[in-house]
């Protein structure tokens, strides 16, 4: 090979080596840039999550401010949330206490939203007899055979023994499942436990189509009384009220809530035996922290207002505090429609 040909070969090899090095460098730079973007995205998501969590906590605190207002009657507003009223002693004149902002309230670099619902508008799982649960399940369209199974299973879940009722289930039944567990054999601590009880399906618990779910009708934290100003129709049916009475109550409270439980006498309803009331002390707060226009954190808390002693202000006791998954947009659209 001539010197000129050898030089051309060496130049070609050098060019190929340079191309390979540049290609390798491009891959390394691209990978580095991708890693940096990914890391920046992770840091941003973590930052937004922490900020959203604090914003949701701020929503809880603002809701507590409303709950601590000087109200002695609670009803529902046009959105189905709790509205607070005050009635002077010896009077039936209602005065509504203005609500604070509850939707997309700006705070710092984000915002928060919250909803207040009445825990005492629900039926307490740990109070009352099996007949109430029978009537509640009837009101939401559960068939007799399934009702008997669910009522017995709930009683077996709560009672301290391992004796199975006719249609119920105890630990020996749940231990045979693919994912075994034991019955609580004590009072229900959270309504989500019902998803572990024999006979209760997710559709029944969360609701489907036009039927309300047990999650909206039952409580494990209320005082055991039921607020007729906030209770939905199935809960009123569980108390033993007839359809005509329920219809009259729902229609009457649309304009103004009942200021006195004695006002129900015109519907032939007695509030004493059914433990009905017009005021509540236990509330559920569902708060979201919003960052960049989107909810990034959600907290659901159940709180109870503690009556003040003479010379002191009322306080709030937190009964439950749970971070929760964000709501599904599909479910939200279904609820709005």
Instruction: Provide the greatest CA pair distance for the chain.
Output: 119
Q: Contact at 8 Å (CB) between 74 and 84?
A: yes
Query: Taking residues 31-45, what's their average pLDDT?
Result: 79
* Residue (of 70, 122, 93) closest to 259 by Cα position: 93
| pTM exceeding the 0.85 threshold for the entire prediction | no
* Residue (of 118, 73, 125) closest to 283 by Cα position: 118
Reading phi first (left if > 0) and then psi (alpha if -120 to 50, else beta), residue 112 is in: beta
Q: Residue 35 to residues 29, 32, 42, 74: CA-CA distances in angstroms?
A: 10, 5, 10, 54
**Range with the poorest average pLDDT among 41-45, 199-203, 230-234, 309-313:** 309-313
The rounded distance, in Å, linking the Cα atoms of 209 and 211 is 6
Q: How confident is the model at residue 335 (pLDDT cuts 50, 70, 90)?
A: very low
Q: For residue 44, what pLDDT is reported?
A: 83
Measured N-to-C along each axis, helices 130-139 and 144-158 cross at an angle, to the nearest 10 degrees, of 140
The rounded mean pLDDT for the chain is: 88
Q: Residue 21 to residues 8, 25, 29, 57: CA-CA distances in angstroms?
A: 20, 6, 12, 54
Residue 180 DSSP class = -
Tens of pLDDT, residues 89-110:
777 789 999 999 999 999 999 9
Could you tell me the two tokens for 272? 């004493």
In angstroms, what is the C-alpha Rg of the chain?
A: 29
């Amino acid at each position: 090979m001539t010197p000129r040909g050898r030089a051309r070969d060496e130049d070609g090899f050098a060019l190929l080596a340079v191309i390979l090095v540049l290609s390798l460098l491009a891959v390394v730079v691209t990978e580095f840039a991708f890693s940096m973007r990914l890391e920046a995205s992770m840091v941003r998501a973590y930052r937004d999550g922490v900020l959203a969590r604090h914003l949701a906590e701020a929503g809880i605190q603002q809701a507590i401010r409303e709950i601590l207002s000087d109200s002695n009657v609670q009803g529902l507003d046009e959105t189905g949330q709790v509205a607070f009223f005050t009635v002077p002693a010896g009077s039936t004149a209602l005065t509504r206490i203005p609500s604070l902002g509850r939707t997309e309230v700006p705070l710092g670099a984000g915002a928060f939203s919250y909803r207040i619902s009445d825990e005492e508008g629900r039926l307490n799982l740990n109070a009352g007899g099996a007949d109430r649960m029978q009537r509640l399940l009837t009101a939401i369209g559960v068939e007799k055979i399934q009702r008997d199974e669910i009522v017995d299973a709930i009683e077996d879940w709560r009672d301290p023994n391992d004796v199975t009722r006719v249609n119920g289930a105890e630990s020996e039944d749940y231990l045979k499942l693919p994912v075994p567990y034991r019955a609580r054999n004590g009072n229900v601590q959270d309504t989500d436990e019902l998803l572990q009880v024999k006979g209760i399906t997710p559709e029944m618990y969360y609701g489907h189509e036009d039927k309300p779910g047990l999650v909206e009708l039952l409580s494990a934290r209320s005082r055991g009384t039921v607020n007729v100003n906030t209770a939905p129709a199935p809960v009123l049916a569980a108390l033993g009220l007839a359809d005509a009475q329920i219809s009259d109550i729902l229609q009457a409270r649309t304009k103004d809530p009942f200021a006195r439980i004695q006002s129900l006498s015109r519907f032939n309803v007695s509030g004493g035996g059914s433990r009905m009331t017009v005021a509540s002390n236990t509330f559920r707060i569902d708060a979201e922290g919003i960052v960049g226009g989107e909810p990034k954190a959600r907290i659901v808390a159940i709180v109870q207002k503690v009556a003040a002693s003479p010379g002191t202000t009322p306080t709030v006791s937190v009964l439950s505090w749970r971070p929760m998954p964000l709501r599904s947009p599909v479910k939200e659209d279904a609820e709005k429609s």
